[in-house]
Structure 1
Amino acid sequence: MTKDRETKGKEETKERSAAAGDSSAESGIRSGGTAHQHRQGSNEAAAQHGQTAQASGTAAPRNEMDERFLRLLADFDNFRKRTLRERDEVRKQAVEAVARELLPVLDGMDAAIASCGGFDASSQVADGFRNILAQALSALQKFGVERIEAVRGQMFDPSLHEAVGITSSADVGDHRIVQQMRPGYRIGSRLLRGAQVIVSSGPGSGAGGSSPAGGVSSEGGRG
């Protein structure tokens, strides 16, 4: 009986030891799995951090290149606009220079037309000069050159007219144009030459004669 109890006790002790060993092994396996999962999570976090850092490092040069490209586009647009302005200004200066050289020729045609009245067949000669003058004015008009014609009774405008004389007039009011002596020309708003005119001083006591224009101020009044 005593041996049986001892044998049974030893067997129970072995079983408890085996159970304890299995429990320890299972605990070790669980601990190992947890550690492995922790290391795997750490590796994934490190990989994500590396990808984020790489993306940030790539985005910075890209943004800098975009900014440089936009600045380059703005500089080119400013250069294009400045070039167009300079080209237009050079063109206007060239047209103005040519037009000024042609003004005496146009004045000569006007004088020739006015002098045709004293010759035979003057109408045909005058018509020929008028046609030539019209063609010349049409060609100049294509480049923006306009002829300024002063009309009798028109108010004197110092920005368009040049007073070369003053005369009294019964039918033309004060500071108004009595007669045009020579037409003027302009390119757009730029005056090449004002139209030379005789300005009325209003009704006078005498028959009325012209006098130098020194008495007409820039405002169209008399000094």
Structure 2
Amino acid sequence: MTEEPTEQNEVQRGTPGSEPEAVSSDLEELRKAYDDLNDRFLRLAADFDNYQRRMARELDTRTTFAIEAFAAEILDVLDNFERAEAADDASLREGLEQIKKLFTAILQRHEIVPIDCVGRPFDPQGHEAVAYVPADAPEGTVIDEVIRGYCMKDKVIRCAKVVVSRGKEE
């Protein structure tokens, strides 16, 4: 069984002498396409590295400025403490109350608010129990706040240290 020469077979086999030129030409085109893609990849990788470094520097700068602004506000409180320290005993209490108001206002401006806990059920997300004592309040109720807890934008930044009721002892 012999194959009859057809146009398709001729294309597959190629003509004598033209095969190396066609392969060479195709190989050169593929090599050029590979080099172009590799160059684009290397440039893209370098751009991404530069982007990451730039974002890290920008984040560091933003953080530094945020801390600096907050520190400047806190320095007002320190100035008032120094003035209260130099005051006589009669105006000392009034000065301390003013300092507390200023400090509370600064915290509220930054959305830092105290956790309200006395008389509420114990919540391990915002409370840390330091004592579990018998009391008239129902079991699991916070009856005393030892150290106040704080939230910033609905995130607990410091848990309140509380005393929890064990209920009435019989």
Which of the pair is proportionally richer in strand? 2
Higher Cα Rg: structure 1 or 2?
1
* TM-score between both structures, scaled by the size of structure 2: 0.50
Greater RCO, CA 8 A, separation 6+: 2
* TM-score between both structures, scaled by the size of structure 1: 0.41
